[in-house]
Structure 1
Amino acid sequence: MDSRMDALASLGSLEGVASALAGSRDGIDALLRDRGLRRTPPELTTESLLRGAIASATLEGSVSSAEEMRAGQGDEVAVAALRLSTELLALVPTLRTAPLQAFARLHAVLGAGAVADDQLGRPRDGAAAERLHLLARRLLEPTTAPALLVAAVVHAELATAAPFASHNGLVARAAERLVLVTRGVDEKSLIVPEAGHLALRAEYESNLRAYAQAGGSSGVHAWLVYAAEAYAKAAELSPVR
């Protein structure tokens, strides 16, 4: 396709982004290819999702311990993250064909009992709705962008736009994991991107702030280079290891 019309692919031309993401993808592929030589029990996927829920809840401000969450307990944020982890992969087909519905469902699962029913899955305002529609269109358009770049952009857009009444960080990190599955990076969801971000928490939070700042591409560039490092860490923290 014409690269001038491929907004996501154009981000891959930023200095160092393509090579950094390619290096991380090589590491992920090596991990999963090695695992593919043996049977991968579903328990590994379950464990990856659980580790992701624990990490994502912590990043969202939960003070519940990993032990509490493994027992199915914790504060509201922890319980919401656990609830979503059991439903997340069922949304893979929806993200492929109807991203807006997938985003709405993510929030509806997370926000149940925490926000009013008429706010579940609904954008906060017109600006948030417009940002969500644009992101959904980008996901449905053909692109030559690396899958890791697409996942990183989806994460940052949802986290910085904060389109819902609550749980936006959890939504963003869950959507990122779904993109990694739907784009063929990690079809069995064995790496743990949320734990990668938690391990690099200071860099994660500072680069999201940079992404959110208006003007120029420096923040986007910094976020994408950071994301490559986070995905490499996500592979290191996989239960496969």
Structure 2
Amino acid sequence: MTDPLAQLLELPGVEEAVRTARDSVAEVHRHPANRRGWPATAAEASVRAARASAVLDGGDAEIPEQGDVTDPVLAGSLRVAEALGPLLPTWERAPLQALARLHLLAAADLTDDESLGRPRSAPGVGGRLSLLAGLVAGGTKVPGPVLVAVVHGELLTLAPFGSADGVVARAAARLASIGSGLDPKGLAVPEVSFMRRADAYRAAAEGFASGEPDGVTKWILFCCEAVVAGAREATSIADAALAE
């Protein structure tokens, strides 16, 4: 059968961007601090990713030194970050179930209980989610950076739950990055790049949502650039760990 995403590799600049993204992540996995101490650096990366993702959805960036996190967006993003490792097998086997769980964690303080984990009934949402789930569960063989960009962009476009959709989309992209083998230890932090370039991030996502080849191309390239930046962030985490 024809791979439904194969044509994306023919878009201008995509193959080179994919290669650069993969190489940058592979390099940070070889960092001396990540050879044995990667659980600690991955944990720090996860927290940074959660904070940046929360900011993009209007949440706070700072985690209180004492007491509970009171900002509902940040609290949800942190809950999601903590759940990603255990959720990976579900993501690979039953992506829709994993998305429901992500939303339940992300939006627990943002919406009513009846809406948690349940996609909106808007036309096309259910069908496109099912198509996306099929891709995640083995329906495509494109390189990790492309799959990650598609998962991320499609979930931002659909806003399937009506609350915490950005946090869910970025968490799903992180799962796709780990599950596809692009970043199996979850060391890179592309979310920080998205946060620092928030206006460009939203504009690129709108381009993907348009479905036009130029918009889709720019989104994939933008996501690959964020992976490279996320690898630099991961290197800074590893350098700090090595210096301790």
Give the TM-score normalised by the residue count of structure 2.
0.90
Residue 86 (structure 1) aligned to one of 59, 82, 87: 82
The Cα shift of 1:67 comes to 4.4
Counterparts in 2 of 1:1-241, with a 5 A limit? 2=1, 5-35=2-32, 38-62=35-59, 64-68=60-64, 72-125=68-121, 126-214=123-211, 216-238=212-234, 239-241=237-239
Judge conservation of contact 2:76–2:109 (CA < 8 Å) in 1.
no
Secondary structure of the residue that 2:10 maps to in structure 1?
coil
Give the direction of change, closer, same or farther, for the CA distance of 1:37–1:111 in structure 2 (3 Å limit).
Answer: closer
Could you tell me the percent identity over the aligned residues?
37
Distance 2:228 2:99 in 1: 25
The Cα shift of 1:61 comes to 0.8
Give structure 1 regions of 4+ aligned residues with deviation exceeding 6 angstroms.
none
Judge conservation of contact 1:9–1:146 (CA < 8 Å) in 2.
no
Residue correspondences, number: 236
Q: Give the equivalent residue in structure 1 for 2:242.
A: none
Q: Which amino acid aligns with 1:88?
A: L
Q: Which runs of 5+ in 2 are unaligned?
A: 240-244
CA RMSD of aligned residues (A): 1.9
Give the TM-score normalised by the residue count of structure 1.
0.91
Distance 1:41 1:134 in 2: 34
Q: Residue deviations 1:6-54, cap 9 Å, x none?
A: 1122211101101111111111111112347731242222111100111
Q: Residue deviations 1:132-153, cap 9 Å, x none?
A: 1110012223433111110111
The Cα shift of 1:178 comes to 0.5
Secondary structure of the residue that 1:240 maps to in structure 2?
helix
